[in-house]
Amino acid sequence: MNDVWIVVLVVGAFTMVFKAAGPVFLGRRKLPAKAQSIVDLVAPVMLTALVVTQTVGSDEEIVLDARIPGVAAAAIAIWRGAPIVVAMFVAALVTALVRLGA
């Protein structure tokens, strides 16, 4: 088996176990109150961290580029109650226009 297939199969196996961890091992069992109060914060925490990596992250460095005005414009749209699609479109449009001009 060549290197490529080792990477494909090992990464695939790890990821499948990661994704199944909660539903398969925990299932519908109720978490203790303390654990639940930690898990309740997973969504806001993970989503915020993803916003940061998607906006300024790039291969282990912080890159400030056209994504920032795009995401800023989307943030204003979201704050004013725009639907998700509109926010995404605004981000893409502003970013693409800034890149085109640069």
Partner 1 sequence: MSNRPNFGEEPHPARNKNASLNREVPPLERCYVRSVPTDARPTPRIRDGVRAALPLVLGPLLFGLSFGVLAEAAGMSTAAAVVMSATTFAGSAQFAAASVLDDGGTVVAAVVSAVLLNARYVGQSIAAASIFPGSRPRRFVESQLIVDESWALSGRSGRFEWPILVGAGLLLYVLWVSSTAIGSVVGSALGDPSDLGLDAAFAALFLALAKPYLREHKAVAAALVAAAITLVLIPIAPAGVPLVVASAACLLGLRR
Token pair 């297939």: residue: 5
Q: Which of residues 65-84 bind partner 1 (CB under 8 A)?
A: 66-67, 70-71, 74-75, 78, 84
Q: Verify binding: residue 23, partner 1, rule CB under 8 A.
A: yes
Q: Verify binding: residue 1, partner 1, rule CB under 8 A.
A: no
Task: Give the number of residues written for the chain.
Answer: 102
Q: Which of residues 44-63 bind partner 1 (CB under 8 A)?
A: 44-57, 59-62
Do the Cβ atoms of 74 and 90 come closer than 8 Å? yes
92/67 Cα distance (integer angstroms): 8
**Residues in contact with partner 1, total (CB under 8 A)?**
72
